[in-house]
Amino acid sequence: MDSLKGQLLISSAGLHDPNFRHTVTLVGEHNHDGALGVVLNRPLGLTVEEGVPELASLVGGDEILFQGGPVQPTSPVLVAEFTHPELADLPVFGKVGFLIGDVSPEVRPGIVRARLFAGYSGWGPGQLEAEMEEGSWILDPAREEDVFTEAPDLLWSRVLRRKGPEFERMSRVPFDPRMN
């Protein structure tokens, strides 16, 4: 399978894992060792200032902190748009990339906007490929407006709808199917 780096993993309506139900995940890396990414549409209901105050100057203290995934939920992951993509520690697509570890003072002026995630999503070797074979995920190329959406609660259905009429019905499946 080709690398899925820079793709969105859109959970299918049949994926009931509570960590990924109705999620849109940006794949930041995918190779023979596995894959990693961040869930883009799980706001935690607290600000960056409340959750990770030491990074508030990079993101904005009033910005919402997001749950990036179930792996290392106490470790912050910063996804940013840069003036120059080579400033990213892990370039993902276009001018969007991940910053890993301490952010050097030289990089800070090159950050156009950033979003902070608590933890990340990870897959071991072959795991994501197996989930793709099972039909758990739908792919779509990532866009900057997906990563930095102002309406994360609508992202899953919006990305499915833009894929075309064959996904329109799926985009209306409620989070809890018993509510249908």
Residue 3 CA to residue 72 CA, distance in Å, equals: 23
pLDDT of residue 176: 62
pLDDT of residue 178: 57
Residue 25 located in a structural domain = yes
The letter for the amino acid at 180 is N
Of 13, 9, 23, residue with least CA distance to 123 = 9
49 within 8 A of 59, measured Cβ to Cβ = no
Q: Which domain holds residue 52?
A: 7-179
Structure tokens, 13:
């309506």
Residue 162 located in a structural domain = yes
Residue 4 CA to residue 29 CA, distance in Å, equals: 7
Q: How many domains does the chain contain in total?
A: 1
Alpha carbon of 19 to those of 31, 58, 64, 69, 92: distances in Å?
Answer: 22, 27, 19, 7, 23
Helix runs in 6-162, H state only: 48-51, 56-59, 127-133, 144-147, 155-162
In tens, the pLDDT along 101-140 reads 788 888 989 999 999 999 999 999 999 999 999 999 999 9
Residue 153 CA to residue 130 CA, distance in Å, equals: 27
Checking if the pLDDT of 94 tops 60, the result is: yes
Residue 2 located in a structural domain = no
Domain of residue 90, CATH code: 3.40.1740.10
pLDDT of residue 141: 98
96 within 8 A of 145, measured Cβ to Cβ = no
Residue 121 CA to residue 138 CA, distance in Å, equals: 16
Residue 33 located in a structural domain = yes
Residue 92 located in a structural domain = yes
In tens, the pLDDT along 22-65 reads 999 999 999 999 999 999 999 999 999 999 999 999 998 899 99
pLDDT of residue 59: 92
Residue 1 located in a structural domain = no
Residue 141 CA to residue 8 CA, distance in Å, equals: 6
Bridge-based pairing state of the strands 111-123 and 64-67: parallel
